[in-house]
Amino acid sequence: MATAPKSAASKAKGGKGKAKTKAAPRSRTAKPKANADELLKYYRDMLLIRRFEERAGQMYGMGLIGGFCHLYIGQEAVVVGMQAAIDERDAVVTSYRDHGHMLACGMDPKGVMAELTGRIGGYSKGKGGSMHMFSKEKNFYGGHGIVGAQVPIGTGLAFAAKYKKTGGVSLTYLGDGAVNQGQVNEAFNMAELWDLPVIYVIENNRYGMGTSVARASAAKELYRLGEPYGMPGEQVDGMDVLAVHAAAEKAVKHCRDGNGPYVLEMLTYRYRGHSMSDPAKYRTKEEVSDMRDNHDPIANLSKVIVESGSKTEADLKEMDKEVRAIVVEAAEFAQESPEPDPSELYTDVLVEA
């Protein structure tokens, strides 16, 4: 990445009369040594998202998926590294670029793909679509189509966790485009004021739709956006799953220890356009190829694994085959699952009508 990851200092808070955790160091969190099994899990999880999204893109092109479809290709390390640091107590919420988050939460690829194709076997029975999918069972609270709206909601997830003393943390993902929404500011203030266990994961993929961060945001260092409230922040190489995981572990610990919210800015990149209908003419081909060729999170991790000697390239190819088979199965399910019956129109509007 062009920018070196940084860390924002946590300011001492006035008026509350209590000591906060020390400021996060200005250097990047040191990467812990991951064992061979962990590395393989990250690799497989990222690969599943990559292959799933490639397939979704193809199916969109074939007219099997309608509406909007925002692919996560390129950003896989962010969600996989983050999810590896949480457990079943924790809740996750994100925006509309949500397929990767759902797979990383352990949701069934069949149910996700069937929602994209508008079938009854989809997670929301076809009523949600690509941008609005949920799984209460997996603590995944959407899938939200309005830029920034998931941020106060994720703060609410943390409010409930703290009130009920579950020990849970809320992972609230937002994009670089969302940071300039007013409701993000409101949520940051409330979260710090009440010491809520929420990690705001800013996925900075450099473009809010077609407008670059440089052209949209007066504040360029997004990891510092919580600083006025006394919220620690850290900038992370979001193309490196190990760096993400290390930062995630630290942030989760901060929250679980009762120290309030945390900001992580993930420097990442989406290879595809904002949505399937975006040819992405606002950036150069060279920029995209540089990211694909030199910073790809999956290719880079495969090198680490092969160099470590735990697996060969042939082993990884075999894993790719397995992952592709899962995606093929999901795609088949998504085409075979019946379309929702018109009677479904009137269910789930209210619990009691």
Partner 1 sequence: MAELTYREAVAEAIAQEMRRDEDVVFLGEDIGAAGGVFKATVGLFKEFGPERVRDTPISEQAILGAAMGSAMTGLKPIAEIMFSDFLAVCWDIVANEIAKARYMTGGQMSMPLVIRTANGGGSRFGAQHSQSVENWAMMIPGLKVVAPSSPADVKGLLAAAIRDPDPVMFFEQKSLYPIKGFVPDGELVDELGTAKVLRDGGDVTIVALAAMVPRAMKAAEELSAQHGIEATVVDVRSLVPLDTQTILREISKTGRLVTVEENPRLCGWGAEIASIVADEIFWDLDGPIIRITTPHIPLPAADALEDATMPSAERIVREIVEKID
Q: Which residues bind partner 1 (CB under 8 A)?
A: 91, 93, 122-128, 132-136, 141-146, 149, 151-161, 163-164, 170, 182-183, 186-187, 189-190, 193-194, 347-353
CB of 269 to partner 1, least distance (A): 29
Contact (Cβ atoms closer than 8 angstroms) between residue 72 and residue 83: no
Dig out the tokens for 296 from the structure.
């790809």
- Of the pair 315, 344, the CB lying nearest partner 1 is at 344
CB of 147 to partner 1, least distance (A): 10
Residue 140, beta-bridge partner list:
92, 135
CB of 245 to partner 1, least distance (A): 25
User: Which residue has tokens 């060969």?
Assistant: 312
CB of 252 to partner 1, least distance (A): 18
CB of 211 to partner 1, least distance (A): 21
- Of the pair 146, 325, the CB lying nearest partner 1 is at 146
Cα–Cα distance for residue pair 153/91, rounded to 1 Å: 11
CB of 328 to partner 1, least distance (A): 25
- Of the pair 61, 338, the CB lying nearest partner 1 is at 338
Which among 86, 81, 85, 90 has a CA at the least distance from the CA of 42?
Answer: 81
CB of 83 to partner 1, least distance (A): 18
CA dihedral 107, 104, 162, 198 (to 10 degrees): -140
Dig out the tokens for 351 from the structure.
């619990």
Cα–Cα distance for residue pair 182/178, rounded to 1 Å: 9
Dig out the tokens for 157 from the structure.
């997830």
- Of the pair 81, 142, the CB lying nearest partner 1 is at 142
- Of the pair 47, 91, the CB lying nearest partner 1 is at 91
Dig out the tokens for 123 from the structure.
């997670």
CA 312 to each of CA 46, 316, 322: distance values in angstroms, whole numbers, following the listed order:
18, 7, 16
- Of the pair 19, 346, the CB lying nearest partner 1 is at 346
Which among 128, 108, 107 has a CA at the least distance from the CA of 117?
Answer: 128
- Of the pair 162, 245, the CB lying nearest partner 1 is at 162
Dig out the tokens for 265 from the structure.
């800015």
